[in-house]
Structure 1
Amino acid sequence: MIQAIIIDDEKRARVNLTLLLNEYCSDVKIIAECENLPEGVKAIRKNKPDLVFLDIEMPGHSGLELLDFFDENEISFKIIFTTAYQEYAIQAFKFSAVDYLLKPINPTELTEAIIRFSKEKEKSANYALLKENLKQDSFKKIAIPSGNSLVFIETEKIIYLKGEGAYSEIVCINNEKHLVSRNLKNFEEILCLQNQTYFNRIHKSYIVNTNFIKAYNKSDGGSVELTNGVHLPISNEKVASILETIQLIRR
């Protein structure tokens, strides 16, 4: 049996989630319901749950502050965020490998989240990374994991990203490079969706900041030349959108 706590300032939200869990996830037992963060912290310390359903936007405290109340060795529980955040911010959840449920909660998505929890109990989610990326103003900066710390990169200084399987290399101005254990799809969802004017997935292995495109070459299947002298291949189906984007930026 999964021991769980709900932290949400809205009583209706707590009731609805409890009803959904009772009907669709019988292996989850709600052992406490809390209407604010201080109550939630006390309940976690007292009950030591396996799982916490945590609302983010609450009066007085953000749900993201929860981990500030615990030392690293005290965090034996996993979190599933329940949120009404608009779509662009959801990319930060995905990028941080953090599970979340969009309100109003869909029963199928709830069931899938519980299944993922059961399979990935030992897998660590990067809550610090999520917290920092949600604080950034429209992703003018992104926080990326580097060892035991976070590195902040201004998106306007990113020239291009190269995907290498489960990893991505971020190339910035002044030949600054970062290798990150996130695939290119994660960056596409954050950069290309939120900064559509500047970033474009031009190839299965590359995302480029179109501000740094110097020229488009038709030969050898098509490529773009960047201001740092690097040539990157471009997929045929991306040529028209890249040229259109460059024209819009340089008008």
Structure 2
Amino acid sequence: MIQAIIIDDEKRARLNLALLINEYCSDVTIIAECENLPEGVKAIRKNKPDLVFLDIEMPGHSGLELLDFFDENEVNFKIIFTTAYQEYAIQAFKFSAIDYLLKPINPNELVDSIARFTKEKEKYNNYAILRENLKQDRLKKIAVPSGNSLLFLETEKIIFIKGEGAYSEINCENNEKYLVSRNLKNFEDIICFNSIFVRTHKSYIVNTQFIRAYNKSDGGSLELKNGLQLPLSNEKLEIILEAIEIIKR
């Protein structure tokens, strides 16, 4: 059995989630329900759950502060965030490889989330990356993993990102390159929310501000301001030509 704790300041939200878990997730037992973060911390220390369902927006403390109360070796539980966040912030969850349930919670998504927990419960989650990416009103910077550290990269200085299987190479101004353990789809989900970035090819995301020209030869390619040529998918041509016209103006 998976032992779980719910932390949410809204009584109705706690009740609804508990009912859904009782009906759809027979392998999950709710061992405590808490209405604020300090209560949740006490319950975690006392009960040592496998899983915590954690609301982010609560009076007094953000759910993101939970891990501030624990040493790294004490974090033997996983978190599934329950949130009413929309749009940009949701992309931050995806990019950080953190599981979340969007309120009002859909039973099928709850079941899928528990299945992912069961399958990947030993997997390390980058809560620090999520916290940094959620701090911003918009993506002026992104936090990406690099070994045991976090890199904070200014999005306006990213020229393009090249996908290489499970990794991506971020190419920035001044010939700076960073290889990070995120595939290109992860970057597409978060960075293409900013309209200056376009997935131009199965292997590339490009900052349109660095595009100099579109070349029709050899099936079509993009010429960047640094002289580099990148391939362009036919279905992205119209979007790129539009971006180039905006730049010319």
The reply to whether TM is greater than 0.5 is: yes
The CA deviation at 1:249 is: 3.7
The CA deviation at 1:121 is: 1.1
Q: Give the equivalent residue in structure 2 for 1:43.
A: 43
The CA deviation at 1:51 is: 0.3
Normalising by the residue count of structure 2, what TM-score does the alignment of the two structures yield? 0.98
Q: Give the equivalent residue in structure 2 for 1:164.
A: 164
1:14 aligns with 2:10: no
Normalising by the residue count of structure 1, what TM-score does the alignment of the two structures yield? 0.97
Task: Give, in whole Å, the separation in 1 of the partners of 2:237 and 2:206.
Answer: 13
Identity %: 81
Q: Is the 8 A contact 2:163 2:169 kept in 1?
A: yes
Please list, as runs of the form range in 1=range in 2, the aligned pairs for 1:211-230 lying within 5 A after superposition. Answer: 211-230=209-228
Q: Is the 8 A contact 2:223 2:230 kept in 1?
A: yes
Q: Secondary structure at the match of 1:145?
A: strand
The CA deviation at 1:108 is: 0.4
Task: Give, in whole Å, the separation in 1 of the partners of 2:173 and 2:153.
Answer: 11
Q: Secondary structure at the match of 1:220?
A: helix
Ranges of 4+ aligned residues in structure 1 off by more than 2 Å: 248-251
Q: Is the 8 A contact 1:136 1:142 kept in 2?
A: no
Q: Give the equivalent residue in structure 1 for 2:233.
A: 235
The CA deviation at 1:137 is: 2.8
Q: Secondary structure at the match of 1:57?
A: coil
Q: Secondary structure at the match of 2:238?
A: helix
What do residues 81-133 of structure 1 show as CA deviations (whole Å, max 9, x unaligned)? 00000122111111111110000000000011111111111111110111111
Task: Give, in whole Å, the separation in 2 of the partners of 1:225 and 1:148.
Answer: 35
The CA deviation at 1:192 is: 1.0
Please list, as runs of the form range in 1=range in 2, the aligned pairs for 1:51-70 lying within 5 A after superposition. Answer: 51-70=51-70
Task: Give, in whole Å, the separation in 1 of the partners of 2:234 and 2:183.
Answer: 22
Amino acid at match of 1:141: K
The CA deviation at 1:46 is: 0.5
CA RMSD, aligned part only?
0.8
The CA deviation at 1:171 is: 0.2
Q: Which runs of 5+ in 2 are unaligned?
A: none
Task: Give, in whole Å, the separation in 2 of the partners of 1:250 and 1:42.
Answer: 59
Amino acid at match of 1:105: I
Equivalent residue pairs, number? 249
Task: Give, in whole Å, the separation in 2 of the partners of 1:240 and 1:43.
Answer: 55
Q: Secondary structure at the match of 1:119?
A: helix
The CA deviation at 1:26 is: 1.3
Q: Is the 8 A contact 2:54 2:82 kept in 1?
A: yes
Please list, as runs of the form range in 1=range in 2, the aligned pairs for 1:1-251 lying within 5 A after superposition. Answer: 1-193=1-193, 195-196=194-195, 198-251=196-249
What do residues 15-69 of structure 1 show as CA deviations (whole Å, max 9, x unaligned)? 0000000000111111111000011001000100000000000001000000011
